[in-house]
A and B are shown apart, each in its own frame.
Chain A
């Protein structure tokens, strides 16, 4: 059980398999601490909007469900933004445009479509917790890799001294694509191995 969880977190991760919600995964992962905060905020919005949509699922119609989903996520994102602004203005500035973009995160929308509007309460809770933890893991591991290779530190603790030259490309947008591609390759080859 325990072993399968640790392999599943890479193998079954929707971020690496279907590339859902990769805008924050690429945008905020220059430093691992930012990535962790972003993952936590996405988890918050995902969890509570799933619960709220699950309460009103009987009243959803095909024409209006997109409105309901976007308004729900927008509400919780606004709450999260107010909290972040009160907590620290520095973090708010460093997250920048990616903080409001939680509203249109594909991972949250796909979860609302697939689980919260169809299944029961218990299944929704378990599924949203699982997807949220998977997303936090994915965004943090990409952040750790990019910070380690580009800056020589992990969560702002310096590991490689300044005198050693770093791979500066991992701090650029192109490096983000390459690191994510590496993890996709890992997930894909782990899936193929079992068959």
Chain B
């Protein structure tokens, strides 16, 4: 519970470390895109955290090959994304139709590689590692839902001429980030 609250509100992976920002900017213009991005990110992050932890513990640490961590982790994530799309195609095909466009984009998102590397030293065993990664994905999902609902209001309102959509999204993210800084005080009570 402590890890969940900390990962979603206090140390939100998107607002504090800026991981997964490109996925957020690309997928928050429609609610359908947001759903696809969240589902594919959750599935890939769960499976790839198992594979990555086992690779690190059983292969890289015993043979002193830590220099290959980056290459092997990014390779694992790509393979896992292929496995996820194959599994979804053969089991739940109605979900596959919704998320198939977002799986390649999610596999090259900085969320996967960033969380895999960041949480490697924080976690004690494989379940802990999976749980922390999943909580980070929940934080990512929260920001996507927030930003999608705000951006859907932007399409109806009147905007200043020269400002452009990129500027507005960045300003909104900055304001959300400032609002989330208010949760910092809660860290002492956890």
Binding site for B on A (CB under 8 A): 16-23, 26-27, 66-67, 70-71, 74-75, 77-78, 81-82, 97, 100-101, 103-104, 106, 109, 169, 172-178, 180-181, 184-185, 188-189, 192
Contact of A104 with B113 in the complex, beta carbons under 8 Å: yes
Cross-chain pair count, CB within 8 angstroms? 114
B16 to chain A, nearest CB (A): 6
Residue in B104, B118, B167 whose beta carbon sits within 8 Å of that of A184 in the complex: B167
A111 to chain B, nearest CB (A): 14
The segment from B45-53, B126-134, B173-181 found at the interface with A is B173-181
**Please, which residues of chain A bring their CB within 8 A of the CB of B169?**
19
A66 to chain B, nearest CB (A): 7
C-alpha spacing A21/B171, complex, angstroms: 17
Contact of A173 with B70 in the complex, beta carbons under 8 Å: no
Return the chain B residue nearest A25 by Cβ: B18
Across the A-B interface, give the 4 residue pairs with the lowest CB-CB distance, nearest first: A177-B174, A181-B170, A188-B164, A174-B177
C-alpha spacing A89/B42, complex, angstroms: 34
Contacts A27-B17, A174-B178 given; does A82 touch B67 at CB 8 Å:
yes
Contacts A74-B71, A104-B74 given; does A178 touch B167 at CB 8 Å:
no
Residue in B21, B74, B75, B109 whose beta carbon sits within 8 Å of that of A26 in the complex: B21
C-alpha spacing A177/B181, complex, angstroms: 14
Contact of A184 with B170 in the complex, beta carbons under 8 Å: yes
Using A27-B17, A181-B171 as known contacts, list a sample of 15 further A-B pairs with CB atoms less than 8 Å apart, ordered by residue number in A: A26-B21, A67-B78, A70-B78, A71-B75, A104-B109, A109-B108, A172-B181, A173-B18, A173-B177, A174-B174, A174-B175, A174-B178, A178-B170, A185-B167, A188-B166
Return the chain A residue nearest B168 by Cβ: A181
Contact of B25 with A19 in the complex, beta carbons under 8 Å: yes
**Please, which residues of chain A bring their CB within 8 A of the CB of B178?**
169, 174
Residue in A71, A97, A101 whose beta carbon sits within 8 Å of that of B71 in the complex: A71
Contacts A23-B21, A184-B166, A189-B162 given; does A70 touch B174 at CB 8 Å:
no
Within 8 A of A (CB), among B9-43: 15-19, 21-22, 25
Residue of B16, B70, B169, B177 most packed against chain A (CB within 10 A)? B70
**Please, which residues of chain B bring their CB within 8 A of the CB of A19?**
22, 25, 166, 169-170
Residue in A16, A81, A174, A185 whose beta carbon sits within 8 Å of that of B70 in the complex: A81
Contact of A173 with B71 in the complex, beta carbons under 8 Å: no
**Please, which residues of chain A bring their CB within 8 A of the CB of B161?**
192
Some 10 contacts from A to B, beta carbons below 8 A apart, are: A18-B166, A19-B25, A23-B21, A66-B104, A71-B75, A78-B70, A173-B16, A177-B173, A185-B167, A192-B162
B83 contacts partner chain A, Cβ-Cβ < 8 Å: no
**Please, which residues of chain A bring their CB within 8 A of the CB of B22?**
19-23, 106
Within 8 A of A (CB), among B43-97: 67-68, 70-71, 74-75, 78
B3 contacts partner chain A, Cβ-Cβ < 8 Å: no
**Please, which residues of chain B bring their CB within 8 A of the CB of A27?**
17-18
C-alpha spacing A16/B166, complex, angstroms: 8
Contact of B70 with A22 in the complex, beta carbons under 8 Å: no
C-alpha spacing A169/B170, complex, angstroms: 15
C-alpha spacing A135/B74, complex, angstroms: 23
Contacts A23-B18, A82-B67, A185-B163 given; does A178 touch B174 at CB 8 Å:
yes
Residue of B25, B110, B171 most packed against chain A (CB within 10 A)? B110
